[in-house]
Amino acid sequence: MYGLHGKIQSVPGKRDELAAFLLKAVAAMRELDGCYVYAINTLPDEPDTLWIYEVWRSVDDHQASLNVEAVLEVIMAARPLIAGMSDRTEVNPLGGVGVPLTE
Amino acid sequence: MYGLHGKIQSVPGKRDELAAFLLKAVAAMRELDGCYVYAINTLPDEPDTLWIYEVWRSVDDHQASLNVEAVLEVIMAARPLIAGMSDRTEVNPLGGVGVPLTE
C-alpha cells in the first residue's frame, strides 16, 4: 500500500472553488480499483489551504491515476485556482477502517 | 463530519507491537456506524511513531467510540507500549473516496 498527504494552497479566497473541482475528480477516482482513500479536508486555521490524505494499493496505482483522462481534465481546469503545494509526506498505511489490511 | 490526525510514539522498538494492538481495535471500530476512516500509518523517517488519520460522522461519534468496551480494552492493553502522543490536528473533511460527501 502507498499513502501520502499534503497541502494545496488556493489563490486567496478560492479554496472552496478549488475544493469543488477536486470533489469532481473524486467521482472518477472512485471508479479506480487501486484508490482506497482520497480525503479532502479544510483546516480551521488556514483559510486558503486544502489538506489531502490518499491511500493507494501501490505507488503504480497512484502514478497511473495521474494519467486518467477524467482526473487530468479536472486538474487542468483547477490549475488557475492553485497557488502552490507543500508539506508532501509519504506514509506507509498498515490498515484500518476504510483501508484494507496489509498482507 | 469530523477529522483528526496525530502521532503516537511507542516505547523504543515497540512500534509494530503497538500497531498490532491498534489494528485489533479496528475490528471493533468497523462495527461503529459513525467511523468512516481510521488509517494507521508508519512513517519512513520515524521508526517509533505511528501516524493516524480518522474521519467520523461527528465529534460525538468520535467521543462515543472512546467508551466502546472493545476499544477501551485495546487502549488499556496497549498503554505500556505508548511513550507519548503529539501533533494532534483537527480537520474538516469535505468528502472524497472512502469518505462521504458533506451535505
**Partner residue facing A29 (CB), from B39, B44, B97:** B97
pLDDT tens per residue, range B31-80: 888 999 999 999 999 999 999 999 999 999 999 998 888 888 988 999 99
Reported confidence tier of residue B88, pLDDT bands at 50, 70, 90: very high
β-strand pairing of A35-43 with A46-56: antiparallel
Cα dist. B93→B36, B52, B58 in Å? 11, 15, 11
Count the neighbouring beta carbons within 10 Å of the beta carbon of residue A89.
Answer: 15
Nearest Cα to Cα of residue B41 among A24, A62, A42, A56: A56
Instruction: Count CB pairs under 8 A between chains A and B.
Output: 112
In 3-state terms chain B splits into helix, strand, coil percentages (rounded to 5) of 35, 45, 20
Which of B52, B55, B97 should one mutate to test binding to chain A, selecting the residue with the greatest count of A CBs within 10 A? Answer: B97
* Separation in Å, CA of A5 to nearest CA in chain B: 10
CB–CB of A42 and B92 under 8 A?
yes
Ramachandran area for residue A34 (φ above 0: left; ψ -120 to 50: alpha; else beta): alpha
Q: Which residues does chain B have within 8 Å of residue A29's beta carbon, measured at their own beta carbons?
A: 97
Prediction pTM value: 0.93
CA proximity to B70, closest of B28, B34, B32: B28
A94 touching chain B per CB within 8 A = yes
Of the candidates B37, B90, B101, which has its C-beta nearest A98's C-beta?
B37
ipTM of the complex model: 0.91
pLDDT at residue B11, rounded to an integer: 98
Rounded distance between C-alpha atoms, residue A88 and residue B13, angstroms: 26
At B101, the pLDDT band (50, 70, 90 cuts) reads confident
